[in-house]
A and B are shown apart, each in its own frame.
Chain A
Amino acid sequence: MLTIGVDIGSVGTKAVLFDGDIVDRHLEPTGWNPSEAGHRAMESLLKRNSLSPGRIDRVVSTGYGRKSFVEVDKAVTEITCHARGAHFMDPEIRTVLDIGGQDSKVILLDDQGRVLDFMMNDKCAAGTGRFLQVMATLLEYPIEEFGAVDPDGEMQKISSMCTVFAESEVVSHLAKGISKNAVALGLLESVAVRASSMLGRMGVKPVVGFTGGVSRCPSLVSLLEGQLNCDVRTYGDSHYAGALGSALIASEL
């Protein structure tokens, strides 16, 4: 059976072609039209694998744009999809930390990848990919470099979690002559503290798997490990966890 999972996130749209294993994956910016982005992602996968749409048995969508993308067999929430995707990537995961473009979540799993409990951030962008993106732009860092500042370097603590307030706090630190690196590290740490407090409230069960776009910041991962005092695993396909999970669910419908 051939299925496609499409995860239409606030920033990126991810699609996975699946036949019991990942056949191919595709990522593209969501832009202003989530349904259009879903179509583009699917078409890219089909074209690249020389498949006609009729060859696909089922499609499941997830992510904030899941309902706008109507040509699917089912729309499933990203909580359930991330859980299934993370479990497929690493069956030892019992806790998923997912930090995406505009939200972050902690999901507790059983040994089958089913959701036992979950928590989502409130409705603002505090501690999400958007927060880090705004800060990287402010500090004129390419995002990859920002996420890879030396975690053992000097650190300037940042106390505001609100994106707008943190921005002015950063500006005032820079005005005092504090180094860009120290400020960047402080910002990353504030995200790690927020994530670990969410994890703490849910009760961390090892193994912790970190998914979503923000999991590609290596220094954030090591700061998190310091906070939690345990290993935090990341995966090459971390940001495809939701799309992978929906493709998997599609194969079981």
Chain B
Amino acid sequence: MKSVSRIDELLADVEAHLKDGVLQVKEASEKGRPIVGTYCTFAPWELITAAGAIPATLCARGEDPITAAEEHLPRNLCPLIKSSYGYALTDKCPYFHFCDMVIAESTCDGKKKMYELMSRMKPLHLMMLPQTAEGDVARSAWRSELDRLKARLEDAFSVTIDDEAISKRIALRNRERMALNSLWELSRLDPPAITGREQFLISEYCEFHFHKEELVPWLGNLVYQIREAYDQGERRVGKDAPRILITGCPLGGAQKVIHAIEDAGAVVVCYENCGGVKELGFLVDEDRPPMEALTDKYLNVGCSVMTPNTSRMDNLKNLIESYNVDGVVEVVLQACHTYAVETYEVRELVRSTGRPYMSVETDYSKSDIGQLATRIGAFLEML
């Protein structure tokens, strides 16, 4: 007996609207709303929206524009940097096309040098990221970077950003963060209510939904309905499927890793990558002066460009326990030195919890799909 799956229907609806973000941005832009393109988790969403602008994540996950990017950039650079630049160069990214300004961060060397070239195409504001999250010097440096960004936004869009506006935006974004947390928590269930692919799909939808006031209740309702179907017995994941946590570089262009894991019979229950739980998993303190609270919040994003990167390790340990994972797969994009070096520490950390760990280095091409299937398959057979 096969009844119509309620979760299937809900997800089909999400999928059907996945590309709505482009239209939302186009409409907003035509109505004169400024669009601010971002690439990285460090870009403070609250400040950009407090300036009346719409922050849009720029394209960086396709393989196609890499060839064009390589006319200006070295070949042995990470695919994310090449893809970002290639999309901009070939005008194939609608968000880049409509954006009035790009916010960049001096995360890794490759990115910061690429941004110099990109600044020829669009007004670009580079935030100077300290190399450590520890100590007063780093904190005050980052604090003044937020002030500098605020001044730049005010100047570019002829607005004044006051604390009240920022506080309102902090509250809204925190509501979205809490709603996302409830989505991720569906994967704490055993078996999880949805697969890792599905979780990724919904997260993507949320990232590219620009009316957060509408999104938050919609997401809350979606999670509620999935939970209800689950409680009534709907199961999408076998109860013996090994529970995997993915960590490392951004996954947008390397979703083949998620597919390899789930095609081999396991389920991804948690993503410790940029954009997801790494940033959105942490709230901004609403009881403190807003600029101060934002400074601490974003400075503590556990990115591998920070030295030491204590907050990533603490967070990972926590997630491994709370999601009750059976194994950890780390994804490193080719030529991403900071994450690649950090794999050693992550391996030690994961193994100290008694769980198996593997790292895979990959790029945006399809050339290693067979090898990934074997390596990940063998890893899962070890569990």
B1 within 8 A of A: no
Which of A41-49, A74-82, A88-96, A232-240 makes up part of the contact surface? Answer: A74-82
A114: chain B residues within 8 A (beta carbon): 382
| 25 pairs, CB–CB < 8 Å, chain A vs chain B | A64-B374, A67-B373, A76-B377, A77-B374, A77-B377, A77-B381, A78-B374, A78-B378, A79-B374, A79-B375, A79-B377, A79-B378, A79-B381, A80-B378, A80-B381, A80-B382, A114-B382, A115-B381, A115-B382, A116-B382, A120-B371, A120-B374, A120-B375, A123-B368, A123-B371
**How far in angstroms is the closest Cβ of chain A from B347?**
10
How far, in angstroms, from A240 to B373 measured CA to CA in the complex?
22
A118 within 8 A of B: yes
B371: chain A residues within 8 A (beta carbon): 103, 120, 123
B370 within 8 A of A: yes
Interface set of A (CB-CB < 8 Å, partner B):
64, 67, 76-80, 103, 114-116, 118, 120, 122-123
How far, in angstroms, from A104 to B203 measured CA to CA in the complex?
38
A118: chain B residues within 8 A (beta carbon): 378
- Secondary structure class of chain B's binding surface, majority of residues: helix
| Chain B, Cβ-Cβ closest to A118 | B378
| Chain A, Cβ-Cβ closest to B367 | A123
Q: How many residues of B contact A (CB 8 A)?
A: 12
Number of A-B contacts (CB under 8 A): 33
B377: chain A residues within 8 A (beta carbon): 76-77, 79
Q: Per-residue CB proximity of B334-374 to A under 8 Å, as 1/0?
A: 00000000000000000000000000010000011011011
B378: chain A residues within 8 A (beta carbon): 77-80, 115, 118
How far, in angstroms, from A162 to B361 measured CA to CA in the complex?
19
| Chain B, Cβ-Cβ closest to A80 | B381
Interface centre among A116, A118, A123 (most CB of B within 10 A): A123
Known contacts A64-B374, A120-B374, A120-B375; A76 and B381 CB within 8 A of each other: yes
| Chain A, Cβ-Cβ closest to B356 | A117
A122: chain B residues within 8 A (beta carbon): 361
How far, in angstroms, from A78 to B382 measured CA to CA in the complex?
12
Other than the given A115-B378, A120-B375, A123-B367, 7 more pairs (CB < 8 A) read A77-B381, A78-B378, A79-B374, A80-B378, A80-B381, A103-B371, A123-B368
**How far in angstroms is the closest Cβ of chain A from B341?**
15
**How far in angstroms is the closest Cβ of chain B from A215?**
20
How far, in angstroms, from A123 to B373 measured CA to CA in the complex?
12
How far, in angstroms, from A78 to B377 measured CA to CA in the complex?
9
**How far in angstroms is the closest Cβ of chain A from B369?**
10
| Chain A, Cβ-Cβ closest to B371 | A123
Interface centre among B361, B374, B378, B382 (most CB of A within 10 A): B378
How far, in angstroms, from A196 to B260 measured CA to CA in the complex?
29
How far, in angstroms, from A37 to B305 measured CA to CA in the complex?
49
B375: chain A residues within 8 A (beta carbon): 79, 120
How far, in angstroms, from A122 to B371 measured CA to CA in the complex?
8
A80: chain B residues within 8 A (beta carbon): 378, 381-382
**How far in angstroms is the closest Cβ of chain A from B377?**
4
**How far in angstroms is the closest Cβ of chain B from A140?**
32
| Chain B, Cβ-Cβ closest to A67 | B373
| Chain B, Cβ-Cβ closest to A78 | B374
How far, in angstroms, from A225 to B381 measured CA to CA in the complex?
31
| Chain A, Cβ-Cβ closest to B375 | A120
B367: chain A residues within 8 A (beta carbon): 123
**How far in angstroms is the closest Cβ of chain A from B205?**
31
| Chain B, Cβ-Cβ closest to A63 | B374
Nearest first, the 5 closest Cβ-Cβ pairs linking A and B are: A79-B378, A77-B377, A77-B378, A80-B381, A115-B382
